[in-house]
Amino acid sequence: MKSLNENRTPLRRAGWAAVVYLIAGFAWIAFSDTLAEAWFPDPKTLSVIQTWKGSFFVLITGVILFSVLLRQLTKDRALLNLQHRQRQALRERERQLQILMDNLPGMAYRCLYDPDWTMKFVSQGCTKLTGYEPDELVNNRVTSYAALVSDASNQQLFEQVRVALEKEESFSLEYEVTRKDGSRIWVWERGRGVQEDDGSLHLEGIILDISDRKVLETELEQMATRDPLTGLLNRREMSRVLDEELQRARRYQRPMAVLWVDFDHFKDVNDTYGHAAGDSVLRAISRLLLGSVRSVDSIGRFGGEEFVIVLPEMDLEEAQETAERLRRKVAEEPQPLGNGEAVPLTISVGVAVYPDHGQTASTLCAAADKAMYLAKDRGRNCVAMAHLHDQVHNQ
């Protein structure tokens, strides 16, 4: 291929044309004179023939030269027109690509595969996404893109990209970015590696702001696990937590308590003040209970005005003391109705402890529920222990 290209250089082509022309010219002069002398021995005739022979030679060479130049200039013009159209098409594609990148909802980028994610190109969407102007990120002029991501996340991202590059696949990443104003957003990145002719490796892709989607995901997750009125765990999630804590207690042979809480005469609150006031009371007591237990404890609303509290690592005596403390706090603090007024309220609590009152979640709940109804029978505002019907406390 190299020798072929060298043979087609303008200098070689012009040289070959000149050589061919000189050989043809000398051959014409040499052989045409000999033939003319042989065919026309008369000197006068020969002189006329020589004159016409020279003119014919000039005519022929002129026609050949004209044809060659015309052919070459036509090809050159066609080539120039083609190059002009290609440049126009390239400029049009560049314009379209620039418009597309500038109107992307995120940031298109091209960067080195290095610890700094050194940007070689970023689109105008960089400003809206990160708060930095494009030229501030290119070649790390003001800051590197890696500086916008936490060190722990950078290590994970680098590893995920490395695995994708080894498999020659695209990569998709989700991580948090700190913007220029200090605010944090969630982004989604999609890209792939590009091997250059010089052997260097670049990454090309797009980065989108997905903060709204993350907020929605969090809300949906909370809707799936939280009671919409009180914000406590809902019945399904509370049952899952109870099963997990029971397995842990069984594995490590440790106690675990379950409190079953029910509001006394709560129907009277709804009937007297309305359901909106009842909802306000439920929310207030939920906050009170949540702020009165340990961080390892879990509280859930099983429905209506029934609450379940799971107390890991708590034996019978400690569970009874906790239940009594919660009963007193509720009784001593009037609950707001949401209209500036407050109403006194009490609770009845049933207590069951693993392994004394049950080996499974269902038996523990049933024992605690039965103890709660025992507290109701004993006059409400009570704490009752499962299977110990004579130990009902009302202080």
Phi, psi at residue 374, to the nearest 5°?
-65, -40
Distance between CA atoms of residues 266 and 274, nearest Å:
11
Query: Considering 305, 306, 333, 341, which one is annotated as catalytic?
Result: 305
Distance between CA atoms of residues 375 and 347, nearest Å:
9
Structure tokens at 259: 């409190």
Phi, psi at residue 389, to the nearest 5°?
-65, -20
List residues bridging with 311 in a β-sheet: 257
Cα distances (angstroms) measured from residue 267 to each of 271, 274, 301, 377: 6, 10, 17, 17
Say how far residue 333 (Cα) sits from the centre of its chain: 47
Structure tokens at 50: 């020589």
Phi, psi at residue 381, to the nearest 5°?
50, 45
Q: How many residues does the chain have?
A: 395
Distance between CA atoms of residues 107 and 164, nearest Å:
21
Distance between CA atoms of residues 310 and 364, nearest Å:
11
Structure tokens at 89: 């098409």
In the chain, the DSSP E strands lie at 107-112, 119-122, 171-178, 184-195, 201-209, 256-263, 298-303, 306-312, 335-336, 342-343, 347-354, 383-385, 388-393
Strand order in the sheet with 347-354: 298-303, 306-312, 256-263, 347-354, 383-385, 388-393
Task: Answer yes or no: 321 catalytic.
Answer: no
Structure tokens at 141: 């002029």
345 contact partners, CB below 8 Å, separation of at least 6:
263, 264, 265, 266, 269, 281, 285, 330, 331, 334, 335
Catalytic residues: 305
